[in-house]
Amino acid sequence: MVVINSIKEMRQIAAAYKSTGGKIAVVPTMGFLHQGHLSLINKAKEEADFVITSLFVNPRQFAPNEDYDKYPRNMGSDSELAAAAGSDCLFNPNALEMYAIGNTTKVAVEGITAKFEGAKRPGHFDGVATVVAKLFNATLPDIAVFGQKDYQQILVVKRLIEDLNYDIELIVAPTLRQADGLAMSSRNKYLSDTDRQSSSLLFLALEDARKAIAAGMMQRKVINAVMHKRLRQAASIKIDYACAALANSLHEPDIFLPGDDIVLLIAAYLGKTRLIDNALTTIPKGKSPLAAL
Residues with a known catalytic role: 37
238 Cβ neighbours under 8 A, 6+ residues apart: 268, 269
Distance CA 199, CA 183 (A): 9
Residues 127 and 212: their CA atoms lie apart, in Å, by 36
Contact 160, 107 (CB under 8 A): yes
Whether the CB-CB separation of 201 and 240 falls below 8 Å is answered with no
- Among 252, 253, 243, 256, which Cα is nearest to 216's? 256
Q: What is the DSSP letter of 258?
A: T
DSSP H helical ranges for the chain: 7-19, 35-47, 75-85, 95-98, 117-120, 124-139, 151-163, 193-198, 200-214, 220-231
Do the bridges between strand 261-270 and strand 273-282 make them parallel or antiparallel, or are there none, so unpaired? antiparallel
